[in-house]
Amino acid sequence: MQLNNYEKYYVIDTNIILEDYTNISKISQDGKNLIIIPETVLDELDNKKSGFDEINFQARNFARMLENANIKESFEVQNHKIVSLDIQNIKIQIISKENYNVKKNNTSSNIYNDRKILEITAFANSYYPCKILFLSNDIMARVRATSLDLQTSPLIGDGIDDSNLEFEKTISIDFNQLETLQHKDIKEFDKDYMPYNFSYTFKIKNSDQNILACIKNEKIYILDEVSLREQIITPLNKEQLFFSNSMMDMYYDVIISEAKAGSGKTLLALSAAVKMVRKKHFSRIIYIRNSIESLDKGEDIGYLPGFEEKFAIYNHPLHDSLRFMALKEHKRKNQNKKQYIAPSDDEIEQKVSQTIENYSIQTMWVGEMRGRTLSEAFVIIDEAQNMSNKTMQMVLSRLDSSCKVIILGSNKQIDNFYVNKYTNALTTLLKSTKQKAEGLNIYAVKLNKVLRGPITKWAENIFE
């Protein structure tokens, strides 16, 4: 194999393949670039093949990809064995070594594998005709690579420019324009209107009055703020009003919310879900929350069904929100009494159980969603920033046209080793709003105001 026939040379870490095995094809660019895979990466992928989580599927798909490879040549260089493969014009070289400089007895297993991979990377850097780039989504692996003077980068795709995604805009209008505002063409007021400008605040000149509106089919629809506040959790600011309106408007099929911790996203989503089921627009509520543990080890449980005691840890955010809603409803019903008596824990838990039963609230494990079709459901997908594109694709593809889906997440709270802010499902969905979706009505909103309390707001400010 002629080594100088390639534009770029990449050494691939395991997490790049586990994020999406088709990344190999993207990096290859039709054979223009050479993909170098250390044998340790193959070992780690082999260990991930068993299981039902997304990374297990990615590992198995990569193994199937290797089954179709043509072995071009095999040779040894400086105690390293190199096997050249050709997979549908993807050029791969797998490098192995019998004796590594790093010693297993002195190193923990996860660091040991990283150092073996970097040892191969260092060899590749000296062997190939130009500098190689080590691709990894693991920051610790990249730091170690940098300490060895190796060029390294995460897989960033084409990124996302938040400044170009102005979901909500503010413009000024004259008082005499207010009467004819409803159902007017938005382009009469904003010549720079873009498909992702979903919400508008119309400020009345020489007045403190603000009119909130959403855009549907490029027409202005003024929000009914009184009606929006008639739910268990009352929207407290314009961001929350925009969010609540989109969830309770049957026009929208998919709502994406990028929100700070403590901004009320899960509470508002559940409150809207309960109201929509009560109105019989949907027959059940399905809550899906990403479990990071499922992404690290194939044997761990991922998306877990039900409220069983042993699975409680995965459902705490949902359970806490239902408790808060139960308490809120209790206070509202008893607010006119001379002396308010707080309910006991047993009473609250009984109300939570009753709400789960009355509104058919279910949590769903991603492993049981494959091959299914979900109907008439108000679906809430939480922690979307920790989901890979493939996982989100699989989940969304289970929903038929009678469903509505709310996707929640924050790119400041990524805990998944296999994705980053450029490659996770939340970013992909936000980026998709730049263009209209054929046959689908999408809405996006950012919740930037922390409402959980002063401690959360203080923590967000000092640690951001």
Tell me the pLDDT of the chain averaged across its residues: 86
Q: How confident is the model at residue 1 (pLDDT cuts 50, 70, 90)?
A: low
Q: How confident is the model at residue 305 (pLDDT cuts 50, 70, 90)?
A: very low
Q: How confident is the model at residue 308 (pLDDT cuts 50, 70, 90)?
A: very low
* Co-location of 254 and 329 in the same domain: yes
* 217-250 pLDDT per residue, tens: 999 999 999 999 988 888 989 999 999 999 999 9
> Would residue 227 count as lying in a domain?
no
219 versus 53: which is more confidently predicted?
A: 219
> Would residue 228 count as lying in a domain?
no
**Closest of 447, 462, 453, 414 to residue 15, by C-alpha:** 414
Q: How confident is the model at residue 333 (pLDDT cuts 50, 70, 90)?
A: confident
* Co-location of 215 and 241 in the same domain: no
* 338-385 pLDDT per residue, tens: 777 888 888 888 888 888 999 899 888 666 777 889 999 999 999 899
**Lowest mean pLDDT segment, chosen from 26-30, 66-70, 307-311:** 307-311
Model pTM above 0.85: no
* 250-267 pLDDT per residue, tens: 999 999 999 887 788 989
Do 74 and 39 touch, CB atoms closer than 8 A?
no
Q: Report residue 382 as tokens.
A: 């939480």
Q: Decide which of 222, 247, 264 is a domain's last residue.
A: 222
* Co-location of 194 and 148 in the same domain: no
* Co-location of 22 and 149 in the same domain: yes
> Would residue 230 count as lying in a domain?
no
454 versus 130: which is more confidently predicted?
A: 130
Segments forming the whole domain that contains residue 308:
236-463
Number of other residues whose CB lies within 10 A of the CB of residue 330:
17
> Would residue 325 count as lying in a domain?
yes
Q: How confident is the model at residue 34 (pLDDT cuts 50, 70, 90)?
A: very high
* Co-location of 380 and 436 in the same domain: yes
What percent helix, strand, coil does the chain show, rounded to 5? 40, 20, 40
Q: Decide which of 200, 222, 244 is a domain's last residue.
A: 222
Whether 183 has a pLDDT exceeding 60, the answer reads: yes
Across residues 320-330, what is the average pLDDT? 84
**Closest of 33, 26, 29, 67 to residue 49, by C-alpha:** 67
Q: Decide which of 222, 247, 263 is a domain's last residue.
A: 222
* Co-location of 432 and 284 in the same domain: yes
Whether 309 has a pLDDT exceeding 50, the answer reads: no
**Which domain CATH number covers 380?**
3.40.50.300
Q: How large a percentage of the chain has pLDDT more than 90?
A: 55
**Around 75, how many Cα atoms within 13 Å sit in the side-chain half-sphere?**
6
* Co-location of 165 and 148 in the same domain: no
Across residues 4-30, what is the average pLDDT? 91
Do 359 and 274 touch, CB atoms closer than 8 A?
yes
Q: Report residue 414 as tokens.
A: 């990524």
* Co-location of 176 and 285 in the same domain: no
Number of domains the chain contains:
3
* Co-location of 388 and 261 in the same domain: yes
Q: Report residue 88 as tokens.
A: 């549908």
Strands 210-216, 199-204: parallel, antiparallel or unpaired by DSSP? antiparallel
Which pLDDT does position 158 carry in this prediction? 56
* Co-location of 251 and 397 in the same domain: yes
